[in-house]
Every structure is written in C-alpha cells, then in structure tokens.
Amino acid sequence: MPAPLLKMSGVSKRFGATRALEGVTFGVERGQVHALIGENGAGKSTLMKILAGVHAPDAGSMEVDGRPYAPTGPAAARAAGVAMIYQELSIAPDLSVEANVLLGRERSRAGFVRRAEQRRIAKEALSRLSHPDLDLRARAGDLPIALQQLVEIARALASEARVLVLDEPTSSLTREDAMRLFEVIRDLRAHGLGLVYISHFLEEVAQVSDVFSVLRDGEVVSSGVMSETTLDAIVRAMVGRELGEMFPHVPHVPGEPILEVRGLTGVRAPRGVDLVVRRGEILGLAGLVGAGRSELVRCIFGLDAVRSGSVRVVAVGPVGQAPRASIARGLGFVSEDRKGEGLALSLSIEDNLTMTRLEPYSRFGWLSLSRRRRSARDWMERVRCKARGPEQSIDALSGGNQQKIAIARLLHQDADVLLLDEPTRGIDVGTKAEIYRLVGDLAAQGKAIVLVSSYLPELMNVCDRIGVLSRGELRAVKPAGEWTEEDVMRCATASAPIEVRT
Amino acid sequence: MNVAATPAKRGVRSVVWSTVAPFLGLLLVLAIFWLYGLIWKPDSVFLSGFRMALIAKQTAIVGMGALGMTVIIASGGIDLSVGSVLALTSVTLALSLKEGAGPALALALTVGAGVAAGLVNGILVTGLRLVPFIVTLGTMLVFRGLAEEVSSQNKIPAGAPDWMSTLLDPPAPGSVALVCRGVWIVVVLAVVLATVLRRTVFGTRVFAIGSNESAARLCGLPVAQTKIAVYALGGFFTALAGLFEFNNLNRQGDPTTRVGLELDVIAAVVIGGGSLNGGRGSVLGSLVGATMMTTLRNGCAFAEVGDPVQKIVVGVIIVAAVTIDQLRQRRRSE
C-alpha cells in the first residue's frame, strides 16, 4: 500500500501560554475528501497555517507522498504540491484571469512572458474545472465570487497541487454555486487529488466528504468515516467539554427596554434584524464566523453603513450613522479587533481610557493631567487592571488587561448600552472569569449588555437571552435556559433556506 | 507579572533613546565637519560666527516649517506642499506690501494665505478621503503655480519696516541674544506648540488620531475637524516661514524659492523621532532635526563638495532616517 498523500503525526503548537494544537494526527489519501470540523478557536486555522508553512510546528512531523514535508513558507508548500484556498480569496482583482491562474508561476523566456504556453495551461486548468470557456482576458475582479474561487482553484491545479485545502469555501456562495462547487470537488477527487475540507456547515460537510476529524481545544477528539456517523454525534464531539467554576453568577434582573432595533439591514449583513434589549440584561449573540454578528453590533453603533431599518435608544431617540452620535446617546462599543481599531497601542493607558470623554478634565480645551491621572487610576482599580500605572504604554499590557481598559473606557464614558464584540477572545482563563464578573456587575447596575461571542459556554452561562445569527439573519432569540449547545450549533449551521431569485 | 514588566522597561528605554538619538545625530554631523576642518582646512573654522549665523538663519526657516509638519505627521498625515506654500506666502507678503498695505495687514494676509492653503489640504484629505501624500503632491503644484501666477513669475521686492525685515539678521555684536530674532521666535512657538500637544484636548486628539484613526473614530473623536485644523495649523507655521524667507531674500517675495523644502522639513521631523505611521512626533526633536539638516547643507558647502554631492548626502541621510524609523517600529511591534 502506498504512503498516504498527506500525513501529519503528533503535531503540536503553542503560542505563548496558549495551547493551539496538541498531538494532532491527521492525513488525507489520494481521491479522498477529509473534513476538518471544529468550533471557532478549536485549532483549525493553526493546523492550516502549519500546513501552509506560515507557522512551524513545535513538535510532530509531516509527510507528503512519504517524503518529509517541512514547508518554510507558502511558496515551499506550493512547490511540494499543497495548495490553500482561503475563505478570503487571494485574487489580484486588477489582473486578468490568465494572470491570476499563473500568478507566481509565470512561464517566461528571458523575462518575457510566454503567452501561448500560459494560455494553454490556464485553459487546461479551467477545463478540468468544467469551465473551459471562461474568458482568460477578463478582469478577475469583475467575475462573481464563485468564479473567482474557481480561478483560485485553477491556480492550484496549474501549480500541480496534489493536496487542496479548502477553508470555508461556501461561506460566501449562494446555494446553487455551492452545489456546483461540490461537483468540482467530486471531480477533483476522482482525479486522485486529496482534499481537506474545512467548514462549519455540517450538512454540506456530510454531503461532500468521505472522512472527518473533529478538533476541539487543539486535539482531535473524534474521527471516522462520514457515512458511519450522525450529525448529532459530530455536534456532541464539537461542544462536549467540562465547564469549571468559570462563570461567576452576579444576580441581576432585566428591567424596561432600552435599545430597540427594527429591521436593521447592512450592506452584506445584518439582514432585517429586529431586537429589543432591556436594562440589566445580558443578551448574547451566537453564530459562526461570517454570520453577521459583528456587523450587527457595528451597524447598531453606527460604525458600518446601514441600508435600512432603525436603532433607537428608548427615552433618548434614534441613533444616527456616526459613532460620535451613538456615544452621545449612551451606546458604547468594544471592538473585536483590539489592535486594529480598539486601542491606540502607542499611547498610554490613561490616553486610551479617557479618549471618549475628556470633558471632565478640560476647561477651554486645557487638560488637567493630574485629575485625569487620578481618575484613570481609579478606573484601573475598578476593573482590576494590572499595570504599573496610568502612564504606562498600553502595548506593554497583556491582552486581558488591555481588554479591561477597553471595557473601562465604556464605563468611563458612562454608556448605558454596552456592545461587546468578542471581549474574551485571546484572553487567559482567569481574566475571562474576571470579565464575566464585571459584565454581571454592570447588568446588576442596570446597564444593558450585548455580548457577541464564538465561545458557546460563555454565552450559555453569562447571558440572560441568546440570539443566533446565520447568514446575516437573526434566526432565533430565546432565554439562555431554553437553549442547549447542540441547539445553538444546529441553528447556526443550518443552511439558509433556498432563495428564490427572480 | 514578569512577562508584562519586560516590554514596559524596553518602552522606557526606547523613549529615552528616541529623545537622545536626534541630538547624537546632530553632534555626529558637527563632529564630522569639525574634524574635516581640522584636517583639510586648518586655516578656517567650521563653526565660525559667520557660519553660525548662516545656520541659524536657515534653521529658523526649516524649523518653522518643521513645527507644523510635526503636528501633521503626529496626526498620521504628511504635507508635501510646504515649499510651495512658503513661496506663495512670501509672494503674498511682498505683493501686499508693494500694493500699499500696512505691515500689520500684510502680515495678516500672509498668515491668512498660509492657513487657507492648509485648510484646502485638510478639507481635500478629509472630504475626499484621499491619501494626504497624493492630495499634497497635487496642491504642491497648485500652490506653486498660484504663487507664480500672482507674481507674474517675477521676484517682488517690497519695502518693509525693520521689525519685520531684519528677523534673520544676526544680533548686534556683544548682544545677549546670540542668534537672530527669527530663531527665538521659533523657540517661543515651539514651547507653545509642545504645550498644546501635551496639555490640551486638541493635542491629545492629534496623537490619538495618528496612533489609530479607527480607534479614534470609534471613540467618537471629531476626526475630520481635527485633521482639518492640523493642516491649517501647518499652513500657519509655513506662512511664518514665508515671512522669514522674505527676510532671507532681503525683502523680496520669490515664487520659485524653496523647491523641495518639504523634504528637508519631513526629514527633520523624522530624524527628530516623528513616525511616518503617525502617533509620534516631538517638537524638540524636530527642531534638532531641522538644525541637523541645515548644518549638513552648510557643512557640505564648507567642505566645498558642490551641489551634486550635497544632494546625494542629504538624500542618503533622509533614507537613513526613515530606515531608522522603520527599524524602531519593527522592534516596537515585536
């Protein structure tokens, strides 16, 4: 029996104190589709990045075709025949289809591109994907997403890839396009390629793959033949875990409504979302990556463009389309992208903490630095931020302490409605528990909290109600006690009803 | 806690380093030319009174521009139109004096022209959401063209009272002033500006926007207004540099003067610890950087290396300064 096409054995990877992967064994045979399943943060992307040569594993070995495989980067991975199709396509939109297919492997003589040979290779790759008539001179950016994806797969074929890794390939496709993609996948399988299929949409996974592996907390917890298992068993494997004393309970009672969202529709997501949040209530928003949870809270806050619908803060009035106005109406927002837009990393703790509201410390534009420092020190204590002092640069803090400052900023701003987007991502367990307690305290003080999270246990244990989003729509909102984790996953992974296009 | 303490210490060290580094650079430049003088020109002194006065005069102009550029760069922007705006304002001053305006009115018109030019830059950057590099590359030509148009491409001599035309003249021998009044004006404005940046809401906003514009927007800061004000402030300082240039050219406005000044000014700010990624900039550092740039140019003249070599040297220094900035950034992000 020949060696398997791709074999990973005992692969481990740590990032600082976080264990991303632990002794993972995974492989794919020729002519096989292997599904890689797991919740957000289970370690799928780390595994992929190791395969692509972005990260080197701390331990374990990899083989392609029986030969040791230790890629030093994406180029080395491609040269070894391993190609990645990421969720975010890497198409050069201004180049032609042909140039995109041959990107990085241009055929040339003395620096001049050999157009005829390029055209032949591109044509051949596209015919294998049953699109021989795609215009090679078309601008790639003008093609619909589904075709752009095909161009990227063609690029992999042109580079003679034998292992093709597809990361959430259907997340931005329509139902029909997804079906067409499955045809392509089956076809490639028939030609002897090994495919790794990563997706959250379990029904699709069951449809297209031969074998599966479930990752949870960096370990393979279940694997087997697709036809011999049930979706329920897979969901159980994905979510089953021990819950310790992670979730301190602070008693709080929801009061009168404070935030009313009506038919809120954004550019891609959300789509027609209705939502009411009460004072003293913690509302969780669950859903998969790309389901539109972040977009929903961003639209509420006025950071993302709103197509239609309205957001009202009860007793204050409608919220406009600018963060400045939202803040004036008592909304506060913690971004999931702490580095990118949450904090100004080159500034001090006090700068970041007081950025939204300098009025208490200023007279005619003149700042009282000492009063600001006293106040900042006060807030740091209240959120138990560990740092040397308010003047310390914020990039010297751990992620958890940075996040405490981001939340403290909303408290300093005196927001009544706190929109928290993934506030515990990338934070150690101890700090997570502290943030849960803080959120509970705030609810007890009558603040309304909207908590977006990919970590189901925290939603189940911290929130009063949980809403589940899928493909931009708010599918259901129920008291947390009426959900099981399986229900949430099922609701979030259910494919959208087939849309009738006219 | 150990984990958190290490980068914090490095933070302090890098702050100290970025304050001291520009001075070291300046000392290095001075030392090189001094040594050069000792070895190859033993009969003349590099830092003679004459050369000191010349360096002071040039530094007043470049330093004044660097004050405005410090704010612009700290806010994450850039202004390539400084040289052109300087020409435009010097022409405005000369023209209005020539047309019979009183000195006070002429000065007001000059400052008005500079601020207006800055406002145009700021409004284009924020209103059209264009990259400041491109906007000011365009307005660099526009303002230069404007200066040439209103002056019919001629130098414009004009009469002016002593108080506004001897700003760059060396002080009387034995005076306690040591350097020309222009330098003192720059120093006073620098102190004011440093205080504004450090101690006011406006200053805090400038650094917040430069450090992370998305975060600033998310925190509800008036990003557009602040940026427009920043460019207007830049125009204000450039107008005063225009006034100095009018002094420098012996009471003349010249539409073709100071082409490429923006490079010296930007280099001065970056050498002084400003980051082209925004969020950092030091008024003191920028002035040291400006002194370094003018010393360099004068030193090249002293060493009689000629204009072409001087250009090469300055170019190399600019690239080196930006490289150092990048290395600092990289070390920071690691």
Report pLDDT for B47: 76
Q: How far apart are CA A69 and CA A50, in angstroms?
A: 11
Smallest Cα distance from A367 to chain B, Å: 5
How close B317 comes to chain A (CA, Å)? 26
Cβ distance of A401 and B4 shorter than 8 Å: yes
* pLDDT given for residue B2 in this prediction: 34
Give me the residue from A347, A365, A386 closest to B200, CB to CB: A365
- DSSP 8-state class, residue B318: H
Structure tokens at A453: 């999270």
Residue B227 CB contacts under 8 Å (≥ 6 apart), including other chains: B75, B77, B122, B125, B126, B209
- Rounded to a whole number of angstroms, the distance between the first and last alpha carbons of chain A is 52
User: The complex's ipTM?
Assistant: 0.77
Q: Do B207 and A347 touch (CB under 8 A)?
A: yes
| Cβ distance of A356 and B215 shorter than 8 Å | no
B208 closest CB neighbour out of A303, A351, A396: A351
Residue A271 distance to chain B (closest CA, Å): 23
CA distances from A8 to A23, A51, A243, A476, B91 (A): 9, 9, 30, 40, 73
Check CB contact under 8 Å for A392 and B218.
no
Nearest CA in chain B to A368: B199
User: Residue B114: is it exposed, middle or buried by C-beta count within 10 angstroms (0-12/13-18/19+)?
Assistant: buried
Q: What is the pLDDT of residue B315?
A: 83
* CB within 8 Å: A323 and B217: yes
> What is the spatial distance between Cα A124 and Cα A131, in angstroms, rounded to a whole number?
9
Positions in chain A short of pLDDT 70: 1-2, 16-18, 40-41, 240-246, 426, 428-430, 495-502
| pLDDT for B96 | 96
A107-132 core/surface letters (b: 16 or more CB in 10 A; e: else) = beeeeeeeeeebbebbbebbebbebe
Could you give the angle at which helices B103-127 and B223-248 cross, rounded to 10 degrees? 140
Strand bridging mode A211-216 / A32-38? parallel
Interchain CB distance below 8 Å, B199 and A369? yes
Structure tokens that stand for A4 in this block: 């398997």
Nearest chain A residue (CA) to B5: A396
- The structural domains of chain B, ordered by start, are 47-328 (1.10.3470)
What is the pLDDT at residue A87? 78
Q: Residue B264's closest CA among B290, B236, B230, B303?
A: B290
Residue of A nearest to B224 (CA): A324
Q: Which residue of A has its CA nearest to B74?
A: A346
How many CB atoms neighbour CB B20 within 10 A? 12
Please name the residue of chain A whose CA is at the shortest distance from the CA of residue B212. Answer: A344
Comparing alpha-carbon positions, the chain B residue that sits nearest to A336 is: B215
What's the pLDDT at B330?
67
Q: Does A323 contact B219 at a Cβ distance shorter than 8 Å?
A: yes
Chain B neighbors of A322, CB-CB under 8 A: 220
Tell me, what's the pLDDT at A18?
67
Give Cα separations from A389 to A75, A191, A356, B7 (angstroms): 45, 62, 20, 14
The residue of chain B with its CA nearest to that of A333 is B218
Instruction: Tell me if A324 and B8 make a contact (CB, 8 A cut-off).
Output: no
d(CA A286, CA A490): 11
For residue A399, give the chain B residue with the closest CA: B4
SS3 A426: coil
3-state secondary structure of A84: strand
Which 3 state secondary structure label does DSSP give B120? helix
Smallest Cβ–Cβ distance between A365 and the set B201, B212, B220 belongs to B201
Q: How far is A352 from chain B (nearest CA, A)?
A: 8
- Which chain A residues contact residue B11 at CB under 8 A? 392-393, 395-396
8 Å CB contact between A123 and A186: no
Which residues share a beta bridge with A24?
Answer: A11
The pLDDT, as a whole number, for residue A464 is 95
Nearest Cα to Cα of residue B292 among B66, B85, B86, B15? B66
**Arithmetic mean of pLDDT over chain A:** 87
Q: Give the DSSP H or E segment for A289.
A: none
Kindly report, residue by residue over A403-426, the tens digit of the pLDDT. 999 999 999 999 999 999 999 876
Give B327: exposed, middle or buried? Use CB within 10 Å, 0-12, 13-18, 19+: exposed
With CA atoms as reference, the chain A residue closest to B198 would be: A367
CB contact under 8 A, B4 and A398: yes
Laid out side by side, the sheet with A417-421 consists of A331-334, A417-421, A448-452, A282-287, A465-470, A473-479
Question: Whole-angstrom Cα distance, residue B218 to residue A337?
Answer: 12
Strand partners, A148: none
Distance CA B15, CA A20 (A): 35
Q: Which residues from A are below 8 Å from B when comparing CB atoms? A: 303, 322-324, 326-328, 333, 335, 340-347, 351-352, 355-356, 358, 362, 365-367, 369, 386-388, 392-393, 395-398, 401, 409
Nearest to A341 among B11, B203, B214 (CB): B214
CB contact under 8 A, A340 and B221: no
CB B225 within 8 A of CB B119: no
pLDDT digit string, tens, across residues A175-212: 778 888 999 999 999 999 999 999 877 888 888 999 99
Please answer yes or no on whether B219 and A327 come within 8 Å at the CB atom: yes
Residue B276's closest CA among B318, B236, B237, B311?
B318
For chain B, list residues with pLDDT below 70.
Answer: 1-15, 18, 325, 328-334
Q: How far is A315 from chain B (nearest CA, A)?
A: 21
DSSP letters for A160-226: T-SEEEEESTTTTS-HHHHHHHHHHHHHHHHTT-EEEEE-S-HHHHHHH-SEEEEEETTEEEEEEEG
Nearest to A396 among B11, B199, B216 (CB): B11
Q: Which residues pair with A366 in a beta bridge?
A: A363, B200
Task: Give the closest-approach CA distance of A212 to chain B in angstroms.
Answer: 37
- In angstroms, what separates the C-alpha of A369 from chain B's closest C-alpha? 7
Number of H helices, E strands in chain A: 16, 24
Please give the structure tokens belonging to residue A179.
């079906």
- CB contacts of B216 in chain A (<8 Å) are 344, 355
Partners of residue B7 in chain A, C-beta under 8 Å = 395-396
Buried b (16+ CB within 10 A) or exposed e, B247-261: bbbebbbbbebbeeb
The pLDDT, as a whole number, for residue B4 is: 35
Closest partner residue to B211 among A347, A365, A388, by Cβ?
A347
pLDDT number for residue A213: 94
Across the interface, do B201 and A367 touch by the CB < 8 Å criterion?
yes
CB contact under 8 A, B218 and A367: no
Average pLDDT of chain B, as a whole number: 88
Chain A residues close to B222, C-beta within 8 Å: 324
Start-to-end C-alpha separation, chain B: 19
Which of B11, B221, B279 is facing A355, going by the closest CB pair?
Answer: B221
Interface probe for A, chosen from B219, B225, B277 (most Cβ of A below 10 Å), is: B219
Q: What is the 3-state secondary structure (H, E, C) of A464-499?
A: CEEEEEECCEEEEEEEHHHCCHHHHHHHHHCCCCCC
